């Protein structure tokens, strides 16, 4: 996949152990707010995408992708640790799990996200991917802060029954079953994590429950985006950046 440049930012695939170590350091800083190294056994099987500031080569964003030939490999995914994904084992098309997406805490330039999603779009197109999935996280483990966001997910964005993940993790918030409120849409969107907001704009869907992950201090939902279902206008914008 060729490098993607927009303004002062450039995306590329990690090529060395040092590149991966830099991504792991950025992840730890973004997720835990202090220096360290966020690493696990999935890193070795993933392709790592980096977004750098061309002025000083500083890493400002990264994520990793795990390609799967189809649903028969779904148990290899990071998400399968937390969600019972047997329904997706019947999925026939190529799949990619996107994970550990983060932006440097000191960077707030929208072009960073545009380059990251452009790189992801180029990868999806180059590899004929049909389903993009992963875990989208809310910061903290107190669901009450996000009731309107979860109510909105229940009302508008639950996954199709044929693919819907079942409960596997020991500690979950079953928002689709528990919440009876009408969401305040403006508040819901303000409380929605930026990554999940982007997934939803692409027609993404979510699980009917959130996993309480105290190790990462997050609540996360399984999220799927069927590439063929992305609205044409959104797809055109993404491909314009990717091109």
What confidence tens digit (pLDDT) does each residue in 71-111 have?
999 999 999 999 999 999 999 999 999 999 999 999 999 89
Interstrand relation of 131-139 and 95-103 (parallel, antiparallel or unpaired): parallel
Mean pLDDT of 185-204: 95
The CATH number covering residue 208 comes to 3.40.630.30
What confidence tens digit (pLDDT) does each residue in 108-120 have?
998 999 999 999 9
What confidence tens digit (pLDDT) does each residue in 140-154 have?
999 999 999 999 999
Q: How far from the centroid of its chain's Cα atoms is residue 163's Cα?
A: 18
Mean residue pLDDT across the chain: 95
Where does the pLDDT of residue 243 fall: very low under 50, low under 70, confident under 90, or very high at 90 and above?
A: low
Residue 60 CB contacts under 8 Å (≥ 6 apart), including other chains: 9, 51, 52, 53, 103, 104, 107, 109, 112
Distance, CA of 205 to CA of 155 (rounded, Å): 11
Q: Decide: 35 and 53 in contact? Cβ < 8 Å.
A: no
Domain count along the chain? 1
pLDDT score at 240: 78
pLDDT score at 165: 98
Residue 175 CB contacts under 8 Å (≥ 6 apart), including other chains: 143, 150, 151, 153, 154, 208, 209, 210
pLDDT score at 47: 97
Q: Among residues 79, 77, 74, 61, which one has the least CA distance to residue 119?
A: 61
3-class secondary structure, 141: coil
Supply angle C-alpha 199, 107, 116, rounded to 5.
Answer: 40
User: Largest alpha-carbon pair distance within the chain?
Assistant: 50
Q: Decide: 139 and 193 in contact? Cβ < 8 Å.
A: yes
Instruction: Give one word for 57, left, alpha or beta, with left for phi > 0 and alpha for psi -120 to 50.
Output: left
Beta bridge partner(s), residue 214: none
Residue 124 CB contacts under 8 Å (≥ 6 apart), including other chains: 96, 132, 227
Task: Residue 221: give the domain boundaries.
Answer: 4-242
pLDDT score at 7: 86
1 pLDDT above the threshold of 80? no
Residue 213 CB contacts under 8 Å (≥ 6 apart), including other chains: 82, 137, 141, 169, 219, 220
Where does the pLDDT of residue 216 fall: very low under 50, low under 70, confident under 90, or very high at 90 and above?
A: very high
This prediction's pTM: 0.94
242 pLDDT above the threshold of 90? no
């Amino acid at each position: 996949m060729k490098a993607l440049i927009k303004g002062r930012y450039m995306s590329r695939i990690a090529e060395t152990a040092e590149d991966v170590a830099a991504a792991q350091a950025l992840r730890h800083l973004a997720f835990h707010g202090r220096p360290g190294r966020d690493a696990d056994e999935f890193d070795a099987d993933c392709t790592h995408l980096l977004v750098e500031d061309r002025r000083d080569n500083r890493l400002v964003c990264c994520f990793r992708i795990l390609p799967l030939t189809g649903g028969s490999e779904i148990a290899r995914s990071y998400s399968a640790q937390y969600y019972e994904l047997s329904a997706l084992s019947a999925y026939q098309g190529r799949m990619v799990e996107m994970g550990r997406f983060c932006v440097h805490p000191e960077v707030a330039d929208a072009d960073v996200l545009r380059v990251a999603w452009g790189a992801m779009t180029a990868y999806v197109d180059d590899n004929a991917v049909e389903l993009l999935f992963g875990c989208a996280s809310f910061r903290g483990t107190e669901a009450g802060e996000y009731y309107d966001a979860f109510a909105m997910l229940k009302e508008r964005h639950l996954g199709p029954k044929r693919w819907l993940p079942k409960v596997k993790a020991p500690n979950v918030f079953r928002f689709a079953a528990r919440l009876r409120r009408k969401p305040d849409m403006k508040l819901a969107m303000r409380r929605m994590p930026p990554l999940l907001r982007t997934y939803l704009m692409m027609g993404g869907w979510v699980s009917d429950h959130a996993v309480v992950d105290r190790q990462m201090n997050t609540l996360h939902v399984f999220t799927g985006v069927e590439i063929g279902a992305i609205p044409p206008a959104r797809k055109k914008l993404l491909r314009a950046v990717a091109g």
